[in-house]
Chain A
């Protein structure tokens, strides 16, 4: 048996689903699914997302060898499926979530604890064909133990000291050194997968735009592309460019804030103040260009909701040159402050092999040698005609994650300049045809690859939808990165990851 086989060749053992675009979906029976998981041990098939429905589990896979993407589906009428986590550890939390939401049992998954379900919802297994009644009392949670002389526990959260999202961190520490960190998330679970079911496309778009507010443009972009793929909608060129313009402004704005906040967590507050000013300029530009500081709900299926005028674009060009100059000044400051570099260098190291094993994207992956970017592979318009570098570092520490952001800011500022200067003219919106189908889209948010899968009917309603946040594959790596560091460096490590709670809790 040949160990290495192309993904699409392998999936031919399943039944292709009609109307799945742009990437095919194949339905596998139990035996072929198990065969697929075993194959994954040998094949470079990257797990991009995994999610469940009432009686099916889907995985979105990409073949590293040739870039082919496909969805494999296991029909789970028997209520169980063979766990993908045996070949891809990134699937562990995804499958715990599937068990909580759909009631499907992942066979072979070692972790039997709940993930999203804390025993506080008004119904259990909300996505199952027949949801169960609410739990009588909230579940208790058994954290993984760490044993040894003088070990102590530090519980942190869900309410944190800073202005950040809620989540629980359980540290086992020996003196100042972290022996084990375990995360417990799910506090911001809002039941988005069920909320969007049966909603008109426009209403669902509003909800998906709020999966993670800092990546709202990326989510709207991905959702719109998925709906357009499903319905065969052609988007006008100007709208495509405006989408990228919004996406790049969002990337820069978030990176600026992250760079400032990382330095702030190393007690270097002037960077946060400086970056806060620069970010504010960009958000103001967003307000002038698109009428919303975060450009929320400005990307809609079929195009964009607003057109920009030339005067706003001109002032954007002026803003950019100013921004670049001030940004470089701050980078020089970072580069030449040894006490700050001392904190960021060698702190929170993520080894390259872990990043590859979890297929973590974004700055977490790119700081540890995994140079993947959805804008390049699989690529989507308008990035297919644009030239931009994808910075990759190999140290995997806080410093590397910060430098990846710095270089991405530079690249994105160039992209914004190009996008604004060469913006094509024409309409900005097309009608979404009333056609049933399934669509999938991958869009690079500032944090990494956002995947959205959607199924719509001919009346323009969303039947099912799954938005996948890049944080699913980054959160587990934070646990590893903190190990062996001092407790006081946790905020620094955490900020350098800046994973989304809301995005991964859904």
Chain B
């Protein structure tokens, strides 16, 4: 009998990659164009390597779901050389979500300190910009730039994977 994993892998080999370009929704053209631009820029400036460290600074975990989504085979961020790493010490970029809860502010700052230069900070989502709907709370500082310098905001609640890709492209332009 053929084991199920062999079946599944064979099927994948036959059907080709699940990445965006095989899909037909109207957004796809924009994404594949974006993907091509992103690849070019990443190669030129960072030699195909940009290590991202995600830091949740009190988000509702909606942003984290979309970060997971850009790692799935459909968006497959890694094909551009952008990858998520486990430690800030390995990272070029801190991708920070959430309005920055007071309880996490110190940990966020320490994470930033642990990231080697040159480094960039991307604030992801509406509440990372200014606290969003949590602004004004006693327990929230209201925006990532209250604790660490921010190079880029990616708007959205939560930003879609497409917005996240666009944002990272903007970062590459900015980091030049």
Contacts and interface: CB of A to CB of B under 8 A. Distances in A.
Interface of A: 118, 120-123, 126, 131, 138, 158-159, 161-166, 186-192, 194-195, 203, 206-207, 210-214, 216, 257, 270, 273-274, 276-277, 279-280, 283-284, 293-294, 296, 329-330, 332-333, 336-337, 500-502, 505
B36 interface: no
B140 A294 contact: no
A213 B62 contact: yes
Contacts of A270: 5, 8-9
Interface string B129-151: 00001101111100000000000
Contacts of B107: 158-159, 166, 187
Interface string B65-81: 11111011111000000
B137 A194 contact: yes
A159 B64 contact: no
B138 A277 contact: no
Interface of B: 3-5, 7-9, 18, 25, 54-69, 71-75, 84, 86-88, 98-99, 101-107, 111, 133-134, 136-140, 157-158, 160
A191 B8 contact: no
Could you tell me the dominant secondary structure of chain B's interface residues?
Answer: mixed
A172 to B, nearest CB: 22
Contacts of A164: 56, 64
Nearest to B131: A190
B2 to A, nearest CB: 11
B64 A187 contact: no
B43 to A, nearest CB: 25
B84 A163 contact: yes
B60 A213 contact: yes
Nearest to A335: B4
Contacts of A118: 102-103
A192 B137 CA distance: 8
B134 A207 contact: yes
Given A121-B139, A187-B104, A188-B101, A500 B61 contact: yes
Contact of B59 (A120, A213, A296, A332): A213
15 contacts: A126-B138, A138-B106, A159-B88, A162-B86, A165-B64, A187-B103, A188-B104, A213-B62, A213-B158, A257-B65, A257-B68, A270-B9, A280-B75, A283-B69, A333-B8
B44 to A, nearest CB: 27
Contacts of A206: 133
B65 A501 contact: no
Nearest 8 A-B pairs (CB), nearest first? A213-B62, A276-B72, A161-B86, A213-B60, A191-B137, A191-B139, A210-B60, A120-B102
B8 A280 contact: no
Nearest to B114: A159
B136 A188 contact: no
Contact of B56 (A122, A126, A166, A280): A166
Nearest to A274: B8
B62 A123 contact: no
Given A189-B139, A191-B138, A332-B4, A276 B74 contact: yes
Give the one of B57, B104, B106, B140 with max A CB within 10 A: B104
A214 B8 contact: no
Residue among A159, A206, A505 having the largest count of chain B Cβ atoms under 10 Å: A159
B62 A187 contact: no
